[in-house]
Amino acid sequence: MTPRHTRPPTDPPRQLESAHAHTPPVPLTPETALLQAIGWPVEADGLPQPPAWREKLAAHPGARPARVVEQHRSGYVVATAPDTTFTVESLAEWQRPRFPPEQRAGVGDWVLVQDSDNHRPQIVALLPRHSAIKRGAAGEHYRQQLIAANVDTVFVVCGLDADFNPRRIERYLLLVRGGGAEPVVILTKADQAALVDESLVPSAVAVVEDLGAKGFAVVAVNARDPASVIALLPWLGPGRTAVLVGSSGAGKSTLTNSLLGFDRMKTGAVRESDARGRHTTTYRALIPLPSGACLIDTPGMRELKPTGEEDVAENFADVEALAAQCRFRDCKHGREPGCAVRAAIEGGTLDTQRFASFVKLSGEVAGAATKLAHRRADNAAAKVQGKALNKRLDEKYGKH
């Protein structure tokens, strides 16, 4: 008896083919070179590197890649080259009120855009992110908000004026650290520090030393002076993307303009009494710089709520190491005997305010994590219910 083949033996051995073998290579055209100028990661074969991106491109052969450069309430502005920007319609699915906001495109995202004869071009797909900087959205319900996507560096900006606040820097670092980008602390108004308050200088020096010891890069600049801001160029090489975050008045837009070489972003004077800004920047914008990098300027944040995904232990390794030495494993560092944390505070090796900040942030992250777990459980339950319903409909009416 001759053996029966399910497939003729001449068929190619499919399992040996890679999933992308049939994706036609995109030649390195002038268009892809322009895309590269706004951060598009192209390999030697002309395709972007991430396999998931190649698959999405293959799935939407008529669409072209673009980067989200501005996000307004009314919609998106995308770019296909440093000087080529246009408005687009968002994906219909994203307009559903219950769609998670952090899964919609944000500034820095790469999307695929489909042109149309009688409408505005439309976003048809979001390419997976390599980093996402997020925070908890203001308001009662648990929601996440995307600050920027596909960034390599997060510049945490804080002024060396009356607004200087080491605790706020700590909070920013906790939030941005897990997002997949390198945080760098920029202290602006270095030219003003001594004028405002003499005591600020030693306090700032202590913060710089402390952050340095924890492995963070810290740069002090005069954001108005182009000769001073060149200190940031190591993070702004060709193809790199950085985002500026910090409170209003910290100097984010001033930095952007100095790095750009002209005043593109509006800047606003701070209030004299407390150096607070007036929320001059109102939308996020990605700006290609002469250095070949892209810089994202953002509005100053009023509130910085954790998403629940932050790693408090990683950010407070000093406190955690002390806590491990407490006599009781569940020590609350209150009145328990043999508490190493309290001993360190009393001995002056742990700052009281840093410990207070650890307690507060641990509580906030744990609270947000609980809400996030509930949201995930609700979503999973909704999915199961949806599947069960589909199964019942299939049984009753046949596959639909």
Ligand X SMILES: Nc1nc2c(ncn2[C@@H]2O[C@H](COP(=O)(O)OP(=O)(O)OP(=O)(O)O)[C@@H](O)[C@H]2O)c(=O)[nH]1
The only residue of 133, 190, 339, 368 in contact with Zn ion, by rule CB under 5 A: 339
Q: Residue 131 is encoded by which pair of tokens?
A: 């980093």
Binding-site positions for Zn(2+) = 326, 331, 333, 339
**Per-residue binding letters, 49-68, with ligand X (x by CB under 6 A):** --------------------
Angle at 212 between CA 210 and CA 217, to 5 degrees: 135
**Of 276, 254, 277, 250, the residue nearest 265 (C-alpha):** 254
State yes or no: residue 197 binds ligand X (CB under 6 A).
no
Beta-strand relationship, 241-245 and 217-220: unpaired
Burial 125-162 (b: 16+ CB within 10 A, else e): bbbbbbbbbbbbbeeeebbbbbbbbbbbbbbbbbbbbb
What is the DSSP code string of 92-111? GGGGSTTS-GGGS--TT-EE
Three-state DSSP at 252 gives helix
Interactions with Zn ion, residue window 378-397 (CB under 5 A):
none
* 279 dihedral zone (left: phi>0; alpha: psi -120 to 50; beta): left
The only residue of 253, 258, 315, 357 in contact with Mg ion, by rule CB under 5 A: 253
Binding-site positions = 188-191, 246-254, 326, 331, 333, 339
Find which of Mg ion, Zn ion, ligand X, none residue 222 binds, CB within 5 to 8 Å per kind: ligand X
Looking at 9-17, 159-167, 178-186, 281-289, which segment touches Mg ion (CB under 5 A)? 281-289
Is the dihedral angle over the CA atoms 270, 276, 279, 283 positive or is it negative? positive
The only residue of 281, 307, 315, 357 in contact with Mg ion, by rule CB under 5 A: 281
Q: How far is the CB of 137 from Mg ion (least distance, A)?
A: 20
Q: Residue 258 is encoded by which pair of tokens?
A: 């100095």
**Of 84, 82, 139, 106, the residue nearest 291 (C-alpha):** 82
Interactions with ligand X, residue window 14-33 (CB under 6 A):
none
Find which of Zn ion, ligand X, Mg ion, none residue 326 binds, CB within 5 to 8 Å per kind: Zn ion
Q: How far is the CB of 104 from ligand X (least distance, A)?
A: 23
Looking at 90-98, 283-291, 340-348, 375-383, which segment touches Zn ion (CB under 5 A)? 340-348
State yes or no: residue 153 binds Mg ion (CB under 5 A).
no
Residue 121: C-alpha distances to residues 70, 213, 224, 325 (Å) = 15, 49, 38, 60
CA atoms of 66 and 111, how far apart (whole Å): 6
**Per-residue binding letters, 276-305, with ligand X (x by CB under 6 A):** -x-xxx-----------------xx-----
The only residue of 192, 203, 291, 362 in contact with ligand X, by rule CB under 6 A: 192
CA atoms of 260 and 295, how far apart (whole Å): 9
CA atoms of 241 and 147, how far apart (whole Å): 13
Find which of Mg ion, Zn ion, ligand X, none residue 333 binds, CB within 5 to 8 Å per kind: Zn ion
As to burial, measured by CB atoms within 10 angstroms (0-12 exposed, 13-18 middle, 19+ buried), residue 338 is: exposed
> Which of 150, 256 has the CB closer to Mg ion?
256
> Which of 64, 224 has the CB closer to ligand X?
224
State yes or no: residue 71 binds ligand X (CB under 6 A).
no
State yes or no: residue 135 binds ligand X (CB under 6 A).
no
State yes or no: residue 308 binds ligand X (CB under 6 A).
no
Binding-site positions for GTP = 188-191, 246-254
Per CB under 5 A, residues contacting Mg ion are 252-253, 280-281
Per CB under 5 A, residues contacting Zn ion are 326, 331, 333, 339, 341
